[in-house]
Amino acid sequence: MKFVLGLLFTLTFSCQATATHFSLVKINPNAYEISIEKIKAAIAADDTKQEILPFDNSQSFLLKDHDEQRIGYLIPVKYNSKSYKNTICRLYFVDLHNNLNFAELFAEKNDGDDIVPSCVGIEAVSIQNKTANEALYFAIVRFRTVNTYGDKAVVLTYKTGALLYDKKNNDCINANRQTSNIKALTKKLMSCM
């Protein structure tokens, strides 16, 4: 029994020693409401307001650093875009000073002649450290083309308040077949870098 307790203590201590630089934590309801109001104002001119549930609290997170200091909020939004003529998904980063930054998670432009896929929503998210001030944000996005559904993997880089989309890596991880979970996405990204 002492051996098992000692082993558990050692494992716990070891896990804490290798703590990640960044972490995702659930957002408190007040901060969430303030952040989505800021995003609503930012997308108002492009939003057709036909989407019933544009925000998903279950996939929205507070980003913290290794010292547990709050950095900002990562909030996905799904809305019907006037400019894209389609339902798109974006990830917004709202810092603690209410500055906004966003990157497209899934946005196919509909020119009217072709059938293009539309975003349905975010299935799963995760974060992985890259360097001391950089992290990779992983998302599995659900999309629909007419009556057929599929998943697309998206990797964004968070770097000091900015969200960056690397087209080459995202094309690589989505080549050949769909990626439907974060574990498969992580493996595919390793082979693409």
Q: What is the pLDDT of residues 81-127, one digit of tens each?
A: 999 999 999 999 999 988 999 999 999 999 877 889 999 999 999 99
- 89 within domain boundaries: yes
Q: In which band, very low, low, confident or very high, does the pLDDT at 132 lie, cut at 50, 70 and 90?
A: confident
- 1 within domain boundaries: no
The per-residue pLDDT for 14 is 35
- 9 within domain boundaries: no
Sign of CA dihedral 122, 172, 161, 109: negative
Q: What is the pLDDT of residues 135-187, one digit of tens each?
A: 999 999 999 998 999 999 999 999 988 999 989 989 998 888 778 789 889 88
Structural domain total, the chain: 1
Phi, psi of 6 (to 5 degrees): -65, -40
- 146 within domain boundaries: yes
Structural domain range at position 163: 21-192
Separation between Cα atoms, residue 106 and residue 109, nearest integer Å: 10
- 5 within domain boundaries: no
122 bridge partner residues? 141
Residue 13 has pLDDT above 80, yes or no: no
The per-residue pLDDT for 16 is 38
The per-residue pLDDT for 10 is 37
Query: Which of 132-170 are b and which e, b meaning 16 or more Cβ less than 10 Å from the residue's Cβ?
Result: eeebbbbbbbbbeeeeeeebbbbbbbbeeeebeeeeebb
Q: In which band, very low, low, confident or very high, does the pLDDT at 20 lie, cut at 50, 70 and 90?
A: low
- 165 within domain boundaries: yes
- 6 within domain boundaries: no
Say what the pTM is.
0.84
Residue 58 has pLDDT above 80, yes or no: yes
Q: In which band, very low, low, confident or very high, does the pLDDT at 40 lie, cut at 50, 70 and 90?
A: very high
- 8 within domain boundaries: no
